[in-house]
């Protein structure tokens, strides 16, 4: 991190923005400013480039819930466990998800016991597998608006394939941002640029409308995030109130309309529990009735178990997803490491604990 931090600190453009941030913070007379960087990719840049140390002390950058693996409810993973136990089923998913511990075990454990659970990089590989396999191929799909359009497009492509289905744990981000704004004390939010690239600027505008909380849609380079912080400070001071899109080189006002129409054509929204939060209304993308044949829950009659009873645990993932620092957890880098994770925030490469672990000094 030190090396990367030096790179940023000595970059002329970054230095200029850091100086401007320093000047603006003088107007806050030492008052703490709590800014949430919503997504895991933001957190990765923040930690890797040591941005927290480069910013003035009064700015507290906290990470948010934008890690799809971390927020996926254990009971949804249980659907994957149930179907993967069936004869003649191959379950495909992404690497991080198979290691998430749940009260019913993990997909990795099931794989070790002999179930056919396979890690793939792209849902198209699952469809390809279905084309050449006699087995039922079930893909466990996760991710936000950035990955869901590809799932939608593969479902459309699968029309003549009768051994392919998905468990959709895709989530949409606005309900989570809404929950954060209503339940946590944050002074400003750095919103995810890649999500905005798909859904456009308007959903963010309406979310923050009527709330006196500034937001900036930000890119993922260190300079993007520093500039995002500067724009937020300027908004907090009543300057440049219209500048909410730092990532305008990629994010267009209306977003990607083709991807949006794929999403609305294939998916509908349902309420869903988010780990660390609550049941968030209309926040999970599930297949529309006309695509029911591809819905593994329907196809295999899978029943989602009830939310497990809260058990005593030292893991504070729930708090991490709303801004706590991984170092506040007594298990961090001791009993809990990426090799032996105790919670999803250490499993996922987008999880704050995993990111902190790999960038610790």
For ligand SF4, the binding residues (CB under 6 A) are 315-317, 320, 326, 329, 331-332, 336, 341-343, 345-346, 353
Instruction: Please state the closest distance from residue 70 (CB atom) to ligand SF4, in A.
Output: 9
Instruction: Please state the closest distance from residue 220 (CB atom) to ligand SF4, in A.
Output: 23
Q: Measured between alpha carbons, how far apart are the two ends of the chain, in Å?
A: 7
Instruction: Please state the closest distance from residue 319 (CB atom) to ligand SF4, in A.
Output: 8
Say whether 165 sits in a helix, a strand or coil: strand
Cβ pair 68, 350 in contact under 8 A: yes
Residue 267 or 332 with smaller CB distance to ligand SF4: 332
Distance CA 299, CA 164 (A): 10
Residue 285 or 316 with smaller CB distance to ligand SF4: 316
Residue 2 or 334 with smaller CB distance to ligand SF4: 334
Q: Any residues with CB less than 8 A from the CB of 189 and at least 6 apart, and which?
A: 35, 36, 38, 64, 177, 180, 181, 208, 213, 214, 215, 216
Say which residue the tokens 């454990």 belong to.
109
Residue 10 or 311 with smaller CB distance to ligand SF4: 311
Q: Any residues with CB less than 8 A from the CB of 223 and at least 6 apart, and which?
A: 11, 13, 14, 17
The C-alpha angle 148, 338, 344, rounded to 5 degrees, equals 45
Residue 59 or 320 with smaller CB distance to ligand SF4: 320
Instruction: Please state the closest distance from residue 278 (CB atom) to ligand SF4, in A.
Output: 19
Cβ pair 294, 166 in contact under 8 A: yes
Cβ pair 302, 286 in contact under 8 A: no
Instruction: Please state the closest distance from residue 342 (CB atom) to ligand SF4, in A.
Output: 4
Instruction: Please state the closest distance from residue 361 (CB atom) to ligand SF4, in A.
Output: 17
Residue 254 or 327 with smaller CB distance to ligand SF4: 327
Residue 249 or 327 with smaller CB distance to ligand SF4: 327
The C-alpha angle 75, 80, 84, rounded to 5 degrees, equals 140
Instruction: Please state the closest distance from residue 352 (CB atom) to ligand SF4, in A.
Output: 7
Cβ pair 72, 94 in contact under 8 A: no
């Amino acid at each position: 991190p030190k090396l990367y931090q030096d790179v940023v600190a000595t970059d002329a453009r970054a230095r200029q923005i850091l100086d401007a941030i320093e000047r603006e913070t003088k107007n806050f007379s030492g008052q703490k400013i709590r800014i949430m960087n919503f997504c895991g990719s933001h957190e990765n840049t923040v930690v890797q480039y040591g941005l927290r140390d480069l910013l003035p002390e009064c700015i507290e950058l906290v990470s948010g819930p934008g890690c799809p693996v971390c927020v996926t409810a254990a009971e949804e993973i249980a659907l994957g466990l149930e179907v993967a136990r069936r004869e003649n089923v191959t379950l495909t998913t992404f690497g991080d998800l198979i290691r998430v511990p749940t009260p019913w075990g993990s997909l990795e454990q099931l794989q070790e016991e002999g179930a056919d659970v396979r890690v793939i990089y792209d849902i198209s590989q699952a469809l390809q597998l279905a084309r050449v396999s006699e087995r039922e191929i079930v893909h466990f799909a996760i991710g936000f608006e950035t990955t869901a359009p590809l799932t939608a497009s593969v479902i459309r492509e699968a029309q003549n394939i009768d051994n392919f289905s998905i468990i959709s744990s895709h989530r949409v981000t606005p309900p989570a941002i809404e929950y954060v704004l209503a339940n946590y004390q944050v002074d400003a939010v750095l919103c995810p640029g890649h999500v905005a690239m798909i859904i456009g600027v308007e959903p963010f505008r309406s979310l923050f409308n009527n709330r006196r909380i500034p937001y900036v849609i930000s890119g993922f380079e260190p300079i993007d995030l520093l500039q995002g912080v500067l724009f937020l400070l300027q908004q907090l001071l009543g300057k440049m109130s219209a500048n909410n899109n730092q990532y305008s080189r990629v994010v267009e006002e209306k977003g990607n309309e083709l991807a949006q129409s794929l999403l609305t054509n294939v998916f509908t929204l349902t309420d869903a529990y988010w780990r660390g939060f609550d049941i968030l209304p209309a926040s999970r993308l599930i297949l529309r009735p006309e695509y029911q044949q591809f819905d593994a829950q329907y196809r295999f009659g899978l029943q989602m178990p009830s939310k497990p009873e809260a058990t005593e645990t030292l893991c504070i993932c729930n708090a991490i997803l709303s801004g706590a620092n991984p170092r506040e957890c007594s298990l961090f880098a001791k009993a809990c490491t990426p090799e032996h994770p105790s919670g999803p925030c250490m499993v996922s490469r987008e999880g704050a604990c995993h990111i902190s672990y790999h960038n610790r000094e």
